[in-house]
A and B are shown apart, each in its own frame.
Chain A
Amino acid sequence: MNPDIVVDVTGETCPVPLVEMRKAVMKAEKGNIIEMKGTHPASMMEIPMAVDSLGLKLLKTEESNGVWHIFIQR
């Protein structure tokens, strides 16, 4: 999957991953793919919740060794 925007929030905690996701969505154009990369456990569940609230498309979530990648399409 080829993201147009990559946002690395590794090591950041609540509410920074959500806030940075929202900023990326504001920057993105319609159809753009955003990859969020991070380690905060709760955010792995909360970013998809925010994606739903914002009416965006959740493309994929992967996690290994505590690092997650979430792909979102605007």
Chain B
Amino acid sequence: MKMTIVVHSGDFDKVMSALIVGNGVLAMGGEVTLYFTFWGLQRLVRKKLASGPLSKMHFFGLGKWIMIQRMKKNRVATPERLMEDFRALGGKVIACEMTMELMGLSKNRMEEKWIDRYGAVGMYVRETESSDRTLFI
């Protein structure tokens, strides 16, 4: 099984969802490509993977703080750990070059060890051609 996930959102909880689903697919023997674009790209900037707001009830950071406390209490893996696991299990990451320009991001600001390739919509289409399913997060 091969899955392509478009990570369009940079929200903390949505990026977590993409990484959890991605790790699940890899753990069960599938292949996964994460295609980061628009707000999602901000999470590939060095040290910013966990910096996104909550998609709901962020409350200027208070909601996110509560969420992180609950995650610690329940021993939920951090986004950094999930990304390291995703890479260790062979997950691929593509950063969209066109939207990087729109977002004002240059390659020297990105966490390059997590990025396999820079691409545009053509690369996304190539990835989905061979995928059984695609998620847009």
Contact = CB atoms under 8 A, between A and B. Distances in A.
A67 interface: no
B28 A50 contact: yes
B88 to A, nearest CB: 7
A26 B74 CA distance: 27
Contacts, number: 46
A4 to B, nearest CB: 20
B76 A21 contact: no
Nearest to B90: A26
Nearest to B23: A15
A22 B75 contact: no
Interface in A1-44: 11-16, 18-19, 21-23, 26
B103 interface: no
B24 interface: yes
Contacts of A59: none
Instruction: Bin the interface of chain A by size.
Output: 10 to 19
Nearest to A56: B29
A15 B29 contact: no
Interface of A: 11-16, 18-19, 21-23, 26, 49-50, 53-55
Interface of B: 20, 23-24, 26-30, 74-77, 82, 85, 88-89
Given A14-B24, A15-B24, A54-B28, 17 more contacts: A11-B75, A12-B75, A12-B77, A15-B23, A15-B27, A15-B82, A16-B77, A16-B85, A18-B23, A18-B24, A19-B23, A19-B27, A21-B27, A22-B27, A23-B89, A26-B89, A53-B28
25 contacts: A12-B75, A13-B74, A13-B75, A13-B77, A15-B24, A15-B82, A16-B77, A18-B24, A18-B27, A18-B28, A19-B23, A19-B27, A19-B85, A22-B27, A22-B28, A22-B29, A22-B89, A23-B85, A23-B88, A23-B89, A49-B28, A53-B28, A53-B30, A54-B28, A55-B29
